[in-house]
Structure 1
Amino acid sequence: MTQPPGNHAVLLDVSVDALSDVLDLIHLRGGELTMARPGEGSEVRHRAGGRVLHIVQRGPVDLRVTGGEGTVLEQGDLVLLATGAEHRLRPEGDGAWMSGTFLVEEQEAVPLLAVLPPALVIRGSEAGREWLPLCAQTLAAEIAVPTAGSKVMVSRVLDLLFILALRTWSASAGPREAGWLTAALDQQLGPAMRAIHRHPERPWSVEELAGLASLSRAAFCARFVRLVGEPPARHLSRLRLARAADRLATTSDAVGAIGRTVGYASEAAFSRAFSRAYGSAPRAWRIARAGGSSAAP
């Protein structure tokens, strides 16, 4: 495409965006948006398992995660509860907030999001949070006067808030638990993680991945184990099987063909690896999944 004189196209460097690939893997999508105005002395409880965020419109609001300490949220604050922690919110005075839900592929999301704190609080009053009031205003407008496209608009804004919250968490100081998400957000491991997640079928060598991370073989392996929690080969195997499970659940492709697409040379090798991880052979797992039950690796 020809650019007008004086204009320059700026392309995103997708080679380092492992986070997008990881979020694609868990099929993240924003769900429903609701408004809560319970009144002073009342509270709203959220059972374990739901992945939600809350944005305070009028504060203060007391947040308490079951088994954890309480946190006071003020007007404009956001809290993301991406791990599905049970919690309750109680307003002081006429506090009010919006709550948004998220849908994910649980099997892949559980290990990915487990590195996050039960409640990730982002203060709207802090510098660099200009995106938060803009998103909050958009959501408030859509919930107040729903119109054509509101459902899709809300879903997209919730997705955006989820990603921005992850970026904020990644940029904050402090130690990180080992996990996929920690590594995907790491500047050095990010390119290698993207390569693995984009092409798990390739016979990646440690040397190749270390080159993508601009690290020596030894430094790469040490950093990978520290941030991911397992060696590169084990992570690649886990990813291949997760991709295979997703295709078994969502397509009618032959088992052998699915195995080949994720890097297994034979159906027998794929079946053995899948059975060790998921507790049953691919065909049996697919039948059980279709019947409403599945085994997690």
Structure 2
Amino acid sequence: MTSLRGNSAIPLDASVDALSDVLDFIHLQGETLTSVRMADGGVISHGSGERSIHVVQQGPVDLEVAGDGTRPLAAGDLALLATGAGHRLGSAGGGEWMTGTFLVEESTAAPLLAVLPPVIVIRGSETRFARLPLCTDLLAAELADPSAGSRVMVSRLLELLFILALRAWSVLDTAPQPGWLPAALDRALGPVLTAVHRRPEQDWSVEDLAALASMSRAAFAARFVRLVGEPPGRYLARLRLARAAELLQSSSEPVGSIGKAVGYSSEAAFSRAFAREYGAAPREWRAKGQRA
């Protein structure tokens, strides 16, 4: 009989980390994967709003991002355009690459992914991210020889590649823009975001959150503002309202019940806060979603 003592496990149904929670919340889904072989001097344009990733298999390839300049890419390089910035890829020397695209729930994804730069480039020469080439090799193999289950497999591999690229960027970017992602990947604040994303309805105090981070109240508050860009109370309020907005669209629960589910003591207080954040009362918001 095999003993499980000493083995480690990730309880996928219970232990939600903040990054996983956000990616679930925006309904990230790999959509398409295509292979491109570019004749000398050819260019392919991608319009604004397309969230995509490119993996260079043979260079040189030039990536031009609207408003963000041109970057040369070589074999093994990866470029993630999570914000949907318009861009073009071209090659003066017969470049080859794979392009993957993603679907998200735009109403919730846009403000969350806006903390990312227009393009994240991970160089193939980087040796610290061994899982990236494993993932891209699997994608290339599946694209070259598709079989039963390929559609689902490619979709999952694209999602994995998205996450791996974010992890790599968090290591490489020494001065990220403030937002939820730097905090989710921070050793001290990661557990805090995990806790509030798991239980946004709880009556969290700054002292409670500081204890989760194993920091003093003042040091925690300063670190939170520096990494997230806003105080803990404001972040928690926006998180609660974002959850409420999703519940209003995805369930038929009464407005008052949804307000209580995200931490508001009364329907009136919830409705006022929701209207300030979204410019419409909860019932109006729900009605707009049903008409869309």
TM-score normalized with structure 1 length = 0.92
Shift of residue 12 of structure 1?
3.7
Q: Following superposition of structure 1 onto structure 2, how do residues 246-261 of structure 1 map, counting pairs within 5 Å? A: 246-261=246-261
Tell me the distance in 2 between the aligned counterparts of 1:84 and 1:114. Answer: 9
Kept in 2: contact 1:200–1:262 (CA 8 A):
yes
Tell me the distance in 2 between the aligned counterparts of 1:6 and 1:268. Answer: 51
Q: Which runs of 5+ in 1 are unaligned?
A: 293-297
Structure 1 residue 78 and structure 2 residue 78: aligned?
Answer: yes
Q: Following superposition of structure 1 onto structure 2, how do residues 158-237 of structure 1 map, counting pairs within 5 Å? A: 158-237=158-237
- Give the fraction of aligned pairs with identical amino acids, expressed as a percent: 60
Deviations 1:86-113 (A, max 9, x none): 1100022221111111112223322322
Kept in 2: contact 1:61–1:90 (CA 8 A):
yes
Give the residue type in structure 1 aligned to 2:174.
Answer: G
Kept in 2: contact 1:180–1:228 (CA 8 A):
yes
Partner of 2:6: 8
- The number of equivalent residue pairs is 290
Tell me the distance in 2 between the aligned counterparts of 1:130 and 1:263. Answer: 42
Shift of residue 18 of structure 1?
2.2
Partner of 1:92: 92
Give the residue type in structure 1 aligned to 2:175.
Answer: P
Tell me the distance in 2 between the aligned counterparts of 1:5 and 1:241. Answer: 45
C-alpha distance 237-7 of structure 1, shift in aligned 2 (>3 A):
closer
SS of the residue 1:121 aligns to: strand
C-alpha distance 125-256 of structure 1, shift in aligned 2 (>3 A):
same
Kept in 2: contact 1:58–1:75 (CA 8 A):
yes
Give the residue type in structure 2 aligned to 1:4.
Answer: T
Kept in 2: contact 1:16–1:191 (CA 8 A):
no
SS of the residue 2:174 aligns to: coil
Shift of residue 127 of structure 1?
1.1
Give the residue type in structure 2 aligned to 1:236.
Answer: L
Kept in 2: contact 1:33–1:98 (CA 8 A):
yes
Shift of residue 128 of structure 1?
2.2
C-alpha distance 214-15 of structure 1, shift in aligned 2 (>3 A):
farther
Kept in 2: contact 1:83–1:116 (CA 8 A):
yes
C-alpha distance 188-230 of structure 1, shift in aligned 2 (>3 A):
same
Kept in 2: contact 1:81–1:119 (CA 8 A):
yes
Partner of 2:106: 106
Tell me the distance in 2 between the aligned counterparts of 1:170 and 1:12. Answer: 22
Structure 1 residue 117 and structure 2 residue 117: aligned?
Answer: yes
Shift of residue 20 of structure 1?
1.5
My pick for the range that moved more, 125-134 or 55-64, is 125-134
Kept in 2: contact 1:22–1:184 (CA 8 A):
no
Give the residue type in structure 2 aligned to 1:70.
Answer: T
Partner of 2:238: 238
Partner of 1:39: 39
Give the residue type in structure 2 aligned to 1:150.
Answer: S
Shift of residue 6 of structure 1?
8.2
Kept in 1: contact 2:16–2:198 (CA 8 A):
no
Tell me the distance in 1 between the aligned counterparts of 2:210 and 2:59. Answer: 48
Kept in 2: contact 1:16–1:190 (CA 8 A):
no
SS of the residue 1:43 aligns to: strand
Tell me the distance in 1 between the aligned counterparts of 2:184 and 2:111. Answer: 13
Shift of residue 5 of structure 1?
4.5
Shift of residue 251 of structure 1?
1.6
Deviations 1:12-71 (A, max 9, x none): 498693222222222222111111223211111111111110001111111011122211
Shift of residue 132 of structure 1?
2.5
Tell me the distance in 2 between the aligned counterparts of 1:22 and 1:286. Answer: 22
TM-score normalized with structure 2 length = 0.94
Q: Which runs of 5+ in 2 are unaligned?
A: none
Structure 1 residue 129 and structure 2 residue 121: aligned?
Answer: no
